[in-house]
Structure 1
Amino acid sequence: MPRLPRWIAADLTAKLRSPEAAAVVAGLEGKLTERRRDYKVQSGAFRGVRVLVYRGFVTDNVAKVRVRVFETPELPGDSRIPYWEVAQSNLRRHAALSIVGAQVELRVGRHRATEVTDAHGFANFSLPVPKLRTGWHPAEAVVAGIGDEPTVGAGLVIKPSLTAPFLVISDIDDTILLTGLTEGLTMVARTLLRDVEQRSAIPGMSALYRGLARGVPGRTGKPRPEPAFFYVSTGSWSFYSMLDQFVELRDFPSGPMFLTDWGPTERYLRRSGAEHKRAAVRRLFKAYPSMRFVLVGDSGQRDPLIYEEMARAFPGRVALALIRQVGSEADERNNQLRKHAELLQAEGIPLHLVLDARQAAQLAANLGLCDQETVMQVGTDLHDS
């Protein structure tokens, strides 16, 4: 079969990747989803509506909250096949029917705003919340006009303390949650065949994060305000509930999550995981311009490069960047990263490749970001794991 000339192929590729093409595909997908819903409602197969309010955050007195509206998931039946129910539940997270064009009212305290869900069932809010105090606040989303009664979803929104010594941005996969992204089929098996209670935390990381949250006393001996935690991952929003439960079960500090939508949107036919992370981290740096950040990631993906870019783009605002080593010390990737980290440290960029949570805790303690009790607790966790 004859091949297209290179310039024609390049032009065609550019057009297919353009926002205009993405908008067309997203629009078609939205219409197909609406037809699927209408058919299920007319046939009596529609199971009702669920409203999920993702943890949000407040910046410049505006609450940034994402809500999703979708069909109530069908629970798997009993099966004698090992792991079958777990696999069904995990797969159905991705197959949930989105509710397109639903009107959603978000309520945070006495503040209200209304948005309409997009082709994937998401509604994104920027709700002014003047005079909201620091800390966590309940958020409620109400969807009416679908079914006999309004459907309500509940969530939380955090307003970080700007007097905290720093904020924390953490990767998820292979930074706090063992996924094995570099292990191919092993990662797929962990994702599909294990429920949240069976998912393993990276040893010592929970104790490290609790120590960072606790911090060190101020000059007066009183505890400083706790830093807010933000979690960034290339994983799908479909796994949000599982990841949020994992954070709670494994005793990590709660925080908003920045996940991604694997389907086409009005701007992109296909998402770049690295670009998603870069944009999310940059967004937080811009959202809190007076704050310094502790960044935590792993060597298995693009975290080192993204964190270096942030340190250069926002000089002096990275208090510490911790990169957990994935794989052996002998791996060429880790060898190169270790040498590069040493060059960055000589420049004044505090990016460190660490073997485990103990090394990470000691580095943080040396910089006054956590106490020596944290180092001991991390050591105990590593010994017990």
Structure 2
Amino acid sequence: MTTTEQDGQDRGRLHWAARFEDVKNATVGSALRRLHWDLRLQPFHGYGSSTRVRVLAKVLYAAPGSPADFHDKPVHDMRTMAVRGWRNFTSQVAPFRTVRILLGGREYSVRADRSGIVDVELDVDLEPGEHEAVLWTVAGNEVTAEISVFPPEATVGLVSDIDDTVMVTLLPRPLLAFWNAFVMHQSSRQLVPGMPMLYQRLAREHPGLPVLYLSTGAWNVFPVLKRFLYKNGYPDGALLLTDWGPTNTGFFRSGREHKARALRRLAELFPQRRWLLVGDDGQHDPSIYAEFAAEHPELVEAIAIRQLTESEQLLAHGTLRPLPSRRRGADAPLTVTAPDGHGLLAALQRSEVIS
């Protein structure tokens, strides 16, 4: 079931905050249409296999005369990418709009959800490699989205957390999302030592390595995160982010459930591929990965956990020690820990996951 289909089923049971958001979107959208604002699409990096791919985008309003690629350009042109996330929160979403997709010579018609998000899986016939999907709502506002089709011979893939795994912000976790989104300049984000080297080593050892960055960050900061990864030498890959808006049950989506659901989706789409799961011990990554491994032990190559310092632990959840995690059984996958990418690489080499 797609996100849009699930959203439609749950709409009658929405939390009051979600109903309020729907009224706001309808009221503001109506006003913008009267001012002759147009629909625009912000494409995200999709991924999939030769027979099924996931396409991601967001439908937004834009002032008259704005170029069709005003959100597309920052993703594809690193020199012009926005460096502060707050700019990406000033746009108004356009819910439930029909979006056309042209990919591999076939045209598809899909529908955005109540948050303006397009998140669909399409049956395709594509060669492994990089492809471009063309998306539009009306003639003239076409944009292109990157689609990575993973080669079938790539038996190992990489799933990586972002905050405190590939970069460090050094802020209390309650302020982290706000700071990342609205304040922090991308050059102020601190690189976790050795992590780009670790991921580059994996990419060299596994040609065509599927790379996915799984985070509880909002789709609004996609351009900022893309730029950080690009500038610091991380392998290119799709970002699996989430929407911050209210749901049918509360004010915010569950970050833990977002990650668990994303992993389950990977298991369905790639039932033969094994994943190296990389995260940190500041929140719930160890438990989430352990639970996934218990459900799908055949799909986990290894788990690598970055150990936060005591000060980072304090900022992450208020104590000096890591949060309790799910106990691993005798048949649990290999799990290595270290404070940075250098240590994780050495541990994975000792365990012969990396030569």
TM-score, shorter chain, exceeding 0.5:
yes
Q: What is the RMSD of the two structures over their aligned residues, measured on CA atoms? A: 3.2
Q: Does 1:37 align with 2:29?
A: yes
Cα deviation, residue 60, structure 1:
6.8
**In 2 relative to 1, CA 329–123 (structure 1 residues): closer, same or farther, beyond 3 Å?**
closer
Choose which of 34, 46, 53 in structure 2 pairs with 1:63. Answer: 53
Cα deviation, residue 109, structure 1:
2.2
Q: Does 1:365 align with 2:349?
A: yes
- Matches of 2:223 and 2:117 in 1, distance apart? 15
The residue number in structure 2 matching 1:135 is 129
- Matches of 2:134 and 2:296 in 1, distance apart? 35
Deviations 1:270-304 (A, max 9, x none): 31111111111122123211111100000111000
Choose which of 78, 102, 122 in structure 1 pairs with 2:117. Answer: 122
**In 2 relative to 1, CA 62–153 (structure 1 residues): closer, same or farther, beyond 3 Å?**
same
- Matches of 2:322 and 2:248 in 1, distance apart? 41
Cα deviation, residue 357, structure 1:
1.2
Choose which of 191, 202, 210 in structure 2 pairs with 1:228. Answer: 210
Equivalent residues in 2 for 1:19-30 (5 A)?
Answer: 20-22=12-14, 26=18, 29-30=21-22
Structure 2: which amino acid aligns with 1:212? L
Could you tell me the percent identity over the aligned residues?
26
Structure 1: which amino acid aligns with 2:114? A
- Matches of 1:71 and 1:335 in 2, distance apart? 43
SS at match of 1:41: helix
SS at match of 1:151: coil
CA contact (8 A) 1:106 1:114 kept: yes
Equivalent residues in 2 for 1:42-57 (5 A)?
Answer: 42-43=34-35, 46=37, 48-57=38-47
The residue number in structure 1 matching 2:101 is 106
Cα deviation, residue 125, structure 1:
2.5
Cα deviation, residue 68, structure 1:
0.8
- Matches of 1:43 and 1:329 in 2, distance apart? 50
- Matches of 2:235 and 2:117 in 1, distance apart? 25
**In 2 relative to 1, CA 333–152 (structure 1 residues): closer, same or farther, beyond 3 Å?**
same
The residue number in structure 1 matching 2:279 is 297
Q: Does 1:241 align with 2:233?
A: no
Q: Does 1:206 align with 2:196?
A: yes
**In 2 relative to 1, CA 212–88 (structure 1 residues): closer, same or farther, beyond 3 Å?**
closer
CA contact (8 A) 2:165 2:192 kept: yes
**In 2 relative to 1, CA 237–21 (structure 1 residues): closer, same or farther, beyond 3 Å?**
same
Structure 2: which amino acid aligns with 1:40? L
Equivalent residues in 2 for 1:300-315 (5 A)?
Answer: 300-315=282-297
- Matches of 1:181 and 1:330 in 2, distance apart? 8
Structure 2: which amino acid aligns with 1:68? K
- Aligned residue pairs: how many? 326
Structure 2: which amino acid aligns with 1:300? G
**In 2 relative to 1, CA 356–89 (structure 1 residues): closer, same or farther, beyond 3 Å?**
closer
Structure 2: which amino acid aligns with 1:192? F
Unmatched 5+ stretches in structure 1: 1-17, 76-86, 216-223, 372-385
**In 2 relative to 1, CA 259–167 (structure 1 residues): closer, same or farther, beyond 3 Å?**
same
CA contact (8 A) 1:111 1:127 kept: no
- Matches of 2:222 and 2:200 in 1, distance apart? 21
Structure 1: which amino acid aligns with 2:120? F
Deviations 1:22-54 (A, max 9, x none): 17764663354233122123245x3x4431121
The residue number in structure 1 matching 2:340 is 356
The residue number in structure 2 matching 1:279 is 261
Cα deviation, residue 170, structure 1:
0.6
Choose which of 310, 313, 320 in structure 2 pairs with 1:328. Answer: 310
Deviations 1:39-79 (A, max 9, x none): 123245x3x4431121111247122111211123899xxxx
- Matches of 1:363 and 1:53 in 2, distance apart? 37
| TM-score, normalisation: structure 1 | 0.75
**In 2 relative to 1, CA 335–88 (structure 1 residues): closer, same or farther, beyond 3 Å?**
closer
**In 2 relative to 1, CA 59–266 (structure 1 residues): closer, same or farther, beyond 3 Å?**
farther
The residue number in structure 1 matching 2:4 is none
- Matches of 1:211 and 1:138 in 2, distance apart? 27
**In 2 relative to 1, CA 92–289 (structure 1 residues): closer, same or farther, beyond 3 Å?**
same
- Matches of 1:183 and 1:116 in 2, distance apart? 34
- Matches of 1:335 and 1:51 in 2, distance apart? 40
Unmatched 5+ stretches in structure 2: 1-9, 71-81, 314-318
| TM-score, normalisation: structure 2 | 0.80
The residue number in structure 2 matching 1:93 is 88
- Matches of 1:206 and 1:274 in 2, distance apart? 25
